[in-house]
Amino acid sequence: MQKTLRIKNDIHELSMMNEFLEEAGEELGLSTAFMMSLNLVMEEAVSNIIFYAYKGDVEDAVDISLVREGGELIVTLIDHGIAFDPTLRKDPDITLSAEDRPIGGLGIFLIKKIMDEVSYQRVDERNVFIMKKKITE
C-alpha cells in the first residue's frame, strides 16, 4: 500500500504533513512507537528541504511517499531544489561538547541513526531521498 502527499516548500505545511503521517500510520498498521520515530525523521528531513533546497522565496513542492513493502517502510522525498546528498554528510563528533561542535548536522545524523537505510539520487533535476526502516512491531 502506498500513501502520497504533496506539500508546498513552506514551513507552515509541516502541520499538514503531520496529519498525513498520522492517518497513513494508522492505515499502514504502524505502531505508535514506530510513528514517533518516523515523525521526528520526517520533521528533520522535510524542514531541511524547506530551509535549504531553495534560494530566496522560490515556491515549489515536496513530494512525500510512504510504501509498506512486507516488513519494511520505504519513505521517498522528492524536491526540485539545489542538489544535496545528505548521505555524504560527515557525522558530527558527538563526543565534543555542544560549545565545541559546529552548528548543524545533527538532524541528518539523527535520520541516519533512526532509519535502517538512506540513499540519495539526483534524477531529472530532482533530489530523490529514500529512507527505509524495518517494521519490527
HEC assignment per residue over the chain: CEEEEEEECCHHHHHHHHHHHHHHHHHCCCCHHHHHHHHHHHHHHHHHHHHHCCCCCCCCEEEEEEEEECCEEEEEEEECCCCCCHHHCCCCCCCCCCCCCCCCCHHHHHHHHHCCEEEEEEECCEEEEEEEEECCC
User: The domain containing residue 90 runs over which residues?
Assistant: 1-132
14 in a structural domain? yes
Q: What CATH number is associated with residue 65?
A: 3.30.565.10
Indicate the pTM of the whole model.
0.88
137 in a structural domain? no
| Each residue's pLDDT expressed in tens, for the chain with a length of 137 residues | 899 999 999 999 999 999 999 999 999 999 999 999 999 999 999 999 999 898 777 889 999 999 999 899 999 999 999 999 888 867 655 665 666 655 555 678 899 999 999 999 999 999 999 999 999 86
- What confidence score (pLDDT) does residue 111 get? 94
109 in a structural domain? yes
38 in a structural domain? yes
- At 104-128, the pLDDT tens digits run 556 788 999 999 999 999 999 999 9
Count of structural domains, the chain? 1
- What confidence score (pLDDT) does residue 70 get? 87
